[in-house]
Amino acid sequence: MVVVMAPEATDEQIAHVTDRVEGVGGQAFVSRGVVRTIIGLVGDIESFHGLNLRSMAGVADVHRISDPFKLVSRQHHAERSTVWVGPAGHQVPIGPDTFTFIAGPCAVETAQQTLEAAEMAKAAGATLLRGGAFKPRTSPYAFQGLGVRGLEILSDVRATTGLPIVTEVVDARDVAVVAEHADMLQIGTRNAANFGLLQAVGDAGKPVLLKRGMNATIEEWLMAAEYVAQRGNLDVVLCERGIRTFEPSTRNTLDISAVPVVQGISHLPIIVDPSHAGGRRDLVVPLSRAAIAVGADGVIVDIHPDPETALCDGPQAILGADLRALAQAVRQLPPILGRVDSSAHARTSVTAVSVGV
């Protein structure tokens, strides 16, 4: 941390700052320039926060040097992490060496629809199944998801297809039941700053998929991840799903540059959701290609066997030729960039069902 003193700061004010810093066990290194004096602080940053340095007489500014997110930062954990998702003996990696393709319906509607979507996902090469049982809808009149019945359908479909499940939890009261069925707990954009929920999923013992808040800066998003990590759960995968901008042509604006920016400062894996970013079926394949090219660790995509009847997000669900084009991109492009399909690296045991193509 660096304290910048005002040009008119007196020697007494400078000494007062260094005394206070030393009083909490820190060290203060004073550098006197012609116009200004700066003081470099070394020690426990949290104890410096308690000093309220910015409010002291003669202090013009205070700058942090280290990231405010500690556990998820690359500053103390240079190597990028891989998060393993799925039951013991059959885990799928999400991380820097692989490219992980996650697909499934926006919402679980019926057992038949979920199974059909899962089979479409598997045939296209997906190694994880997505599907919402608890849906965070903007309108209270819209389909809210099947709740626990939806989780049961997902469990059955996992048993049939072998695909581990990613599903959203919207309320801290449901974390236990969702964690009982899911292999990965999703926190949606609307709950990305629900700190109690973040702590609750941090305690649940399952990997977490943390979507970016639609109006969150990258630092705010990483601070949200820090809430999960602080509970002892470092198995967090970040998901860029578009942010709110002034542009109405797309549902959100995919912040593609967030991928390399995050990879530079955090060791957590990061994937892209082209479906919720664009909100349009015709954009899913191009945005997925962009995600692969920019170095994302995977994509999560909405698919549906019959988008016209979908109870949620039908306009962005793909099938048929679009899904085939996506499958081809996911198979062919990541190897050019030195990545392998996540199914090639899945931790399988002899008895486990094999997944992927």
Which residues of the shown chain bind ligand PEP in the complex (CB under 6 A)? 106, 132, 136, 168, 188-190, 211, 241, 273, 276
DSSP state at residue 22: H
CA distance 118 to 106: 12
Smallest separation (angstroms) from ligand PEP to the CB of 276: 4
Smallest separation (angstroms) from Mn ion to the CB of 276: 6
Reading the block at residue 51, the tokens are 């000093």
Residue 28 near Mn ion by CB under 5 A: no
Smallest separation (angstroms) from ligand PEP to the CB of 2: 37
Contact 53, 47 (CB under 8 A): no
Main-chain phi, psi angles of 222, to 5 degrees = -70, -30
Smallest separation (angstroms) from ligand PEP to the CB of 301: 10
Residue nearest to Mn ion (CB): 106
Q: Token match 């090219």: residue?
A: 293
Name which of Mn ion, ligand PEP, none residue 241 binds, using a CB cut-off of 5 to 8 Å depending on partner kind: ligand PEP
Q: Token match 């556990």: residue?
A: 71
Compute the Cα dihedral for 281, 285, 286, 292 and give only its sign.
Answer: positive
DSSP state at residue 111: H
132 vs 164 by CB, closer to ligand PEP = 132
Smallest separation (angstroms) from ligand PEP to the CB of 205: 22
Name which of Mn ion, ligand PEP, none residue 211 binds, using a CB cut-off of 5 to 8 Å depending on partner kind: ligand PEP
Relative orientation angle of helices 320-336 and 281-294, to the nearest 10 degrees = 10
Please return the burial class of 134, using the count of CB atoms within 10 Å of its CB with bins 0-12, 13-18 and 19+.
buried
Residue nearest to ligand PEP (CB): 188
CA distance 175 to 204: 7
45 vs 143 by CB, closer to ligand PEP = 143
Name which of ligand PEP, Mn ion, none residue 188 binds, using a CB cut-off of 5 to 8 Å depending on partner kind: ligand PEP
Residue 106 near Mn ion by CB under 5 A: yes
Smallest separation (angstroms) from Mn ion to the CB of 289: 21
DSSP state at residue 256: T
Write the binding mask 118 to 157 for Mn ion: x where contact by CB under 5 A, - elsewhere: ----------------------------------------
Smallest separation (angstroms) from Mn ion to the CB of 312: 6
What's the alpha-carbon Rg for the chain, to the nearest Å? Answer: 23
Q: Token match 């399909």: residue?
A: 341
105 vs 356 by CB, closer to ligand PEP = 105
Smallest separation (angstroms) from Mn ion to the CB of 164: 20
Please work out the total of residues on this chain that contact Mn ion, with binding judged by CB under 5 A: 2
Among 255, 273, 313, 341, binds Mn ion (CB under 5 A): 313
106 vs 179 by CB, closer to ligand PEP = 106
Name which of ligand PEP, Mn ion, none residue 295 binds, using a CB cut-off of 5 to 8 Å depending on partner kind: none
Neighbouring-strand partners of residue 266 = 73
SS (H, E, C) 54-102: HHCCCEEEEECCCCCCCCCECCCCCCCCCEEECCCCEEEEECCCEEEEE
Q: Cα angle vertex 349, ends 346, 352, to 5°?
A: 85
Residue 239 near Mn ion by CB under 5 A: no
Residues of this chain that interact with Mn ion (CB under 5 A) are 106, 313
